[in-house]
Amino acid sequence: MPISERLSRLGSGVFARNDQRKAAYSARAAGRGPDGAPLPPLLDLSLGSTDLQPPPVALAAIAAGLGRPESASYCLHAATLPFREAVAAWARRRFDVAVDPETEVLLLVGSQEGTAHLPLAVLNPGDPALLLDPYYPSHMGGLHLASAEPVLLPLDPEAGWRPDFDRLSPSQWQALKLMVLGFPHNPTATTGEQAWLDGAVERALRHDVVLAHDNPYVDLALDGEAPALLRHPDWRRCGIEFFSFSKSWCLGGYRLAFAIGAEDLITALRQLKGVVDFNQSLALQAGAIAALERAPHWPEQLRGVYRERRDRMAAALEAQGWPVRLPSMALYLWLQIPEVAQARGLDSERFCAALLEGSGVCLTPGNGFGPGGEGWQRLALVHPAADLEAGAARIGDWLHRF
């Protein structure tokens, strides 16, 4: 059967590869290890899928909406107006910016849907587009879907992962059609600075580049203030920003997100969506509206939980001999491969596989986030602190044996 070259460029995806390894380990753990002893259960720290619960008011609104006949119908763009109006009101409260719900807001099926589809809406085949390296996988996936040409901007850990836009030549800037940023940054768990984003806006305006800012972690900065495209007075002239309910309101499985951006960009993405999918049920939209309007402070309590988890897990890993750079953003630790594994010549993928096989703890290999992620692992703080510390002990025991 014919398979497109585009699909081969997409590859299998780091989360899909990890999923296969986790399934294989869980199947073995249901039996016995090689020595007849039981294997420890899987401790999955590979996905940023929180164990924390959504606001009860959001769940109640969804439950109430499910009983309404219109919630079972296809939802076209016009029916999303109440949601878009709630988003515009949130933007006014959150960033003190006036947003037109008719022309500058778009409901999304998760922010990944928006970042993956935007290149199809704004790029032609072969157009160059800038990505940070490391990058989130859907950012590269969107470029491959559009047959665009990725231009990687390496982030230096010794510079605090700050993007150095001067690394690109003037001719490269003139050729660029799109740049995709995201601060707070996944996977490095760096909050970033507004000045970094302001510098990107200046470059976008000077060279007529579309600036897409992926901002699902805007409410989860543990240190510093999260940057936002909407804080720049010229955001309408060049950009679009993606927000999500997955992190701030713990609604990841409900696939609720939105974009706010320049009218031309929102219109282009809306046109693409119009031939690709419908919108989420009105019941789910009711839950999102309730989260914005009646649980605006929900992220504040999450930050306290994640701060404790970050600090306790970092201390636990340090005690096991695995140095940790304390991150400024919630949800993840971004860890260099331990020296003992480096000495064995293990890359990120093989280290992740060996760690899972030997301890039952699953992390995400950094190479899944681009060449700049090689030599690193991402650990998600998605279990209670005591479970994380127990996982650190399992990791330490394996490292000592290793």
pLDDT tens over the chain, length 402 residues: 777 877 777 766 788 888 889 888 888 877 765 566 788 999 999 999 999 999 999 999 999 999 999 988 998 999 999 999 999 999 999 999 999 999 999 999 989 999 999 999 999 999 999 999 999 999 999 999 999 999 999 999 999 999 999 999 999 999 999 999 999 999 999 999 999 999 999 999 999 999 999 999 999 999 999 999 999 999 999 999 999 999 999 999 999 999 999 999 999 999 999 888 889 999 999 999 999 999 999 999 999 999 999 999 999 999 999 999 999 999 999 999 998 888 888 999 999 999 999 999 999 999 999 999 999 999 999 999 999 999 999 999 999 887
> Which residues make Cβ contacts (< 8 Å) with residue 352, sequence separation at least 6?
18, 21, 362, 363, 364, 365, 377
Cα 87 from Cα 107, distance rounded (Å): 9
Q: What pLDDT is attached to residue 35?
A: 60
Cα separation of 153 and 140, whole Å? Answer: 13
pLDDT value of residue 38: 81
Rounded Cα distance between 308 and 183, Å, is 22
Task: Kindly state the helix (H) or strand (E) to which residue 377 belongs, with its residue range.
Answer: strand 376-380
Q: Please name the residues in contact with 282: beta carbons below 8 A apart, sequence gap of 6 or more.
A: 65, 68, 70, 71, 73, 75, 79
Q: Which two tokens stand for residue 299?
A: 């992220």
Chain centre to alpha carbon of residue 61: 26
Q: DSSP alpha helices (H): ranges in 123-161?
A: 137-145
**348 contact partners, CB below 8 Å, separation of at least 6:** 337, 365, 366, 367, 368, 373, 374, 375, 376, 377
Residue 32 has a pLDDT of 62
Q: How far apart are the first and last CA of the chain?
A: 44
DSSP state, 54? P
pTM: 0.94
The secondary structure of residue 235, as a DSSP letter, is: G
Question: What b-and-e string marks burial along 280-294, b requiring 16 or more CB atoms within 10 Å of the CB?
Answer: bbbbbbbbbbbbbee
In this prediction, residue 2 carries a pLDDT of 76
